[in-house]
Amino acid sequence: MSASPDIQQPRVRNALRQASGLKVEHLTFLTTGWVSLCYRAEATGKSYLLKLYDEAIPTPLLASSLDFYLPLTHYLCTQQLLPQ
């Protein structure tokens, strides 16, 4: 595991609450992936994988675009194929 990047955790937690309704209590840095920073987000007794992308760094995605990648991730979660 590499050193945790300097992010504004309160801002990230607030954005997650506004976007998803999740009240994230803890963010734990996991690693820097190929295209994102990966965190374990803990909210109401559940854990989630949070991936943060830097818009300033154009990086190719494995999936063709976020318009494909994010709905796919949501589908896998709601179908309980990858629930977290």
Segment 65-80, tens digit of pLDDT: 666 667 777 777 887 7
The whole-model pTM stands at: 0.63
Mean pLDDT of the 21-47 span: 87
User: How far apart, in whole angstroms, are the C-alpha atoms of residue 66 and residue 3?
Assistant: 26
Within 13 Å, how many C-alpha atoms sit on residue 4's CB side? 10
pLDDT above 90 covers what percent of the chain?
Answer: 25
